Amino acid sequence: DQQVKQNSPSLSVQEGRISILNCDYTNSMFDYFLWYKKYPAEGPTFLISISSIKDKNEDGRFTVFLNKSAKHLSLHIVPSQPGDSAVYFCRGGDSSYKLIFGSGTRLLVRP
Amino acid sequence: NAGVTQTPKFQVLKTGQSMTLQCAQDMNHEYMSWYRQDPGMGLRLIHYSVGAGITDQGEVPNGYNVSRSTTEDFPLRLLSAAPSQTSVYFCASSSGLAGGTDTQYFGPGTRLTVL
């Protein structure tokens, strides 16, 4: 039972435009959501998070939106830069320590 | 402060061989975990530990063993390697204070090929 789904395996956008990465979840107990970024040949690194008591969290060019009724969150990158090209993973969090990630979305930002 | 370290970086095994992937962290984190990354499959949780002496199974535990004798180290053992275990393996740690809301810190990964 996959609790977190990223249905778009890849996304290609032009530099300067907006990138929108999506994540759906099924576990109603999730009260926190995190996005990680992974470059080739490196480990994932934390990017941004959001608590379930909020519907938006912004950090510079990165904004995460949470729609609890739809069990959906999205990561917006504005403006997109070539250095943002990476694989992005989302994860839900609750009191459990069984930390499950989505399958990832590979973002390519074209110069 | 080295963070999370993994050794080796690369390894080639023959089917049936055994080996141990090493993971260590110097952040005094209670929670440690192992993931494997395969194309199109994302990061899949193999095993995790919430503290020394405590381990539990993740999504894909078959063929792997773990133990946690110290806070710092969390080795992953492949008992009898199979080609299906060809993957990139990542170790991660977090403070363990807040369950799934903790930020995890990942090691650089071990690329394993089983022939």
pLDDT digits (tens, 9 = 90+) for A65-95: 999 999 999 999 999 999 999 999 999 988 8
Q: Which residues of B touch A49 (CB under 8 A)?
A: 101, 103
pLDDT at B99 over 80: no
Q: Which residues of A touch B44 (CB under 8 A)?
A: 101
Q: Taking Cα atoms as reference points, which of A110, A33, A38, A111 lies closest to residue A75?
A: A33
Q: Indicate the range of A70-74, B37-41, B76-80 predicted with least confidence.
A: B37-41
For residue A10, give every residue at least 6 positions away whose Cβ sits within 8 Å of its Cβ, in sequence order, or none: A105, A106, A107, A108
Report the Cα B81 to chain-centroid distance in Å: 15
Q: Which residues of B touch A31 (CB under 8 A)?
A: 101
Check if the beta carbon of residue A58 is closer than 8 Å to that of residue A2: no
Mean local confidence (pLDDT), A22-48: 94
pLDDT at B42 over 90: no
CA distance A27 to chain B (A): 12
CA–CA separation, A94 and A88 (whole Å): 20
Mean local confidence (pLDDT), B71-88: 97
CA-to-CA separations, A29 to A25, A35, A68, A92, B93, in angstroms, rounded: 10, 18, 11, 9, 22
CA distance B31 to chain A (A): 8
CA distance A29 to chain B (A): 11
CB–CB of A43 and B106 under 8 A?
Answer: yes
Q: How far apart are the first and last CA of chain A?
A: 38
For residue B35, give every residue at least 6 positions away whose Cβ sits within 8 Å of its Cβ, in sequence order, or none: A101, B43, B44, B45, B46, B58, B89, B90, B91, B92
Q: Taking Cα atoms as reference points, which of A33, A38, A106 lies closest to residue A73?
A: A33
Q: What is the pLDDT of residue A71?
A: 95
Average pLDDT of chain A, as a whole number: 94
In degrees, to the nearest 5, what angle opens at C-alpha B103 toward C-alphas B100 and B105? 120
Is A29 near chain B, with CB under 8 Å?
no
With a pLDDT cut of 70, the percent of chain B lying above it is: 100
Q: Which residues of B touch A101 (CB under 8 A)?
A: 35, 42-45
For residue A9, give every residue at least 6 positions away whose Cβ sits within 8 Å of its Cβ, in sequence order, or none: A103, A104, A105, A106, B40
CB–CB of B4 and A98 under 8 A?
Answer: no
